[in-house]
Chain A
Amino acid sequence: MSMKHVILAGLVTLTASAVALAGPAGGTVSGKVTYEGTPAKMKPIDMSKEPSCAKMYTTPPVVQTVETGSGNSLEDVVVYISAGAPDEGAPSTAAVFTQKGCRYIPHVLAFQVNQELKIVNEDQTSHNIHPLPKLNREWNKSQPPGTPPISEKYDKAEFIPVKCNVHPWMHGNFAVMKNSHYAITGDGGAFSLANLPPGKYTVTAWQESYGDQSQDVTITGSETKTVNFVFKAKPY
């Protein structure tokens, strides 16, 4: 391949991506994530060892490894395009992960590869943020009350459990995504992935206790395709 060809190929790619960016909004994949069976009862958290947090609750909060909502819906499930969409550069906004009342808000935080992750401590106690990645680098930082946010990023896509060693009940998740086509289910388990250019996609739903499920979907124009996920609940 001569130099000319390389340049030409580059130009073609550039124009193609420009067209894709400027083109119509594309299709949407939306649906619901639900469970069948009986999920384990989520136990209340005993925060008596950390009075500054315990006093923030009238009734103790429950663990969040499975969060159910109305109509057998599952919340905090990450639904994302796992195949078919190109990798994307990181957006300039930061994803914010807050420690409040000795819990992580949100419980599941999704952001993109190399996107800034900002970790904030709003509590009156010291936390240590200890994410446990398998593919990315593992670090562990202390964050006493009143200290500035910690800024970090991850360079590989991965689901990363997060814990605080000082407060063993604290548990959260980072979902590091390859592209911007992701959603986290809220009340009712609904999600929507918009702006998908025509193509074949694999849609994956990930729940921290139940694992993941995938379905293929083809988008041809600006239609909305429905994809629902049903997880089998584990009783324990």
Chain B
Amino acid sequence: MRRLQITKIVLILAIAFALPFAAYGQQMESHEGKWTGHSEAGRQLYYRYCWGCHGARGNGDGENAPYLNILPRNFVVASFKCRSTPTGTLPLDQDLFSTLGRGINFTNMPSWAALTDQQRADLVAFIKTFSPRWKTEKPGDPIQIPAEPALTVASIKHGGELFQKLECWKCHGQEGRGDGPSASTLTDSNDQPIRPYNFTSDNRSKCGKTNQDVYKIFMTGLDGTPMPSFADVIKPEDAWDLVHFLRTLQYNNKSPELTLWLSTKEGAEIVNAKKVQNTYTGSGVKP
């Protein structure tokens, strides 16, 4: 009987001690290559570097948030732009990890490459404690990216046809300047105005600058923005053609695709015609 009472006391004490920690108790881990991130370590970093924008509770309402024209991500909703997983699903740890290292171009999210890999992995683990989705859902199955086929003029041309057929130009503009007929009306999921990507401005899109990154952008969509997923409507082999074509729109970036395109008479004419009209919106100035 006595022993039972002692057990009871020990149990009550254990619960009493555990309770305050239970509130924090959503320990999370992240895995990226050889690094394992721990949310407890990430917490320290978050409340030093991140909460000014993303807020104390991770819902994107930090004290700087009102001054930003693309609002900070709300980690409670857990909808992320840069993913390798289908639209509407949670990203992989690697996706968040690389976003931290890269930053998000055209937004106020800087690159955190100055932190160590371990620190970024810890932050990823901590960010995942904000949303219950990380406990009830698994990240989506990453989209399959076939090996990039050889670059040919035919591939670029076919990509250009897809750009027309899929009506990418409705937002991104016929010359990829982000000035299509619907561009001025776009809003993101926070009801804030948002600009479609201007291909002529830079070679870095929001989610990276490799060909694979570009492939992923239109096959997964950028969740929370007007950019939809085309995974159900573009075949993988066609997708690479579209990537090759999109590179030729970035005519300030000397890519193999642009070089090849410029070596053809047709391509050189199109690209050079664009340069004459090199204004920000691409309209108004004619040769």
Contact = CB atoms under 8 A, between A and B. Distances in A.
A138 B227 CA distance: 12
Interface in A116-159: 125-126, 128-130, 132, 137-144, 147-148, 150
B165 A141 contact: no
A49 interface: yes
- Of B225, B226, B228, B230, which is in contact with the most chain A CB atoms at under 10 Å from its CB? B228
Nearest to B222: A140
B197 to A, nearest CB: 14
Interface stretch (B39-47, B151-159, B179-187): B179-187
Tier of interface size on chain B:
20 to 34
Say whether chain A's binding surface is mostly helix, strand, loop, or mixed. Answer: loop
A138 B79 contact: yes
B189 interface: yes
Contacts, number: 75
Majority secondary structure of chain B interface residues (helix, strand, loop or mixed): loop
Interface residues of A, number: 22
Pick the most buried of A137, A144, A167: most chain B CB atoms within 10 A of its CB.
A137
A168 interface: yes
A183 to B, nearest CB: 29
B166 interface: yes
Interface string A154-183: 000000000001111000000000000000
| Shortest Cβ-Cβ A-B pairs, 3 listed | A139-B88, A165-B226, A128-B228
25 contacts: A49-B182, A126-B167, A129-B228, A130-B226, A132-B189, A137-B79, A138-B88, A138-B224, A139-B223, A139-B229, A140-B221, A141-B221, A141-B228, A141-B229, A141-B231, A144-B165, A144-B167, A144-B233, A165-B182, A165-B185, A165-B187, A165-B228, A166-B167, A168-B182, A168-B185
Given A143-B232, A148-B232, A165-B187, 15 more contacts: A125-B167, A137-B79, A137-B89, A139-B86, A140-B226, A142-B166, A142-B221, A142-B232, A147-B232, A165-B171, A165-B228, A166-B170, A167-B182, A168-B185, A168-B186
Interface of A: 49, 125-126, 128-130, 132, 137-144, 147-148, 150, 165-168
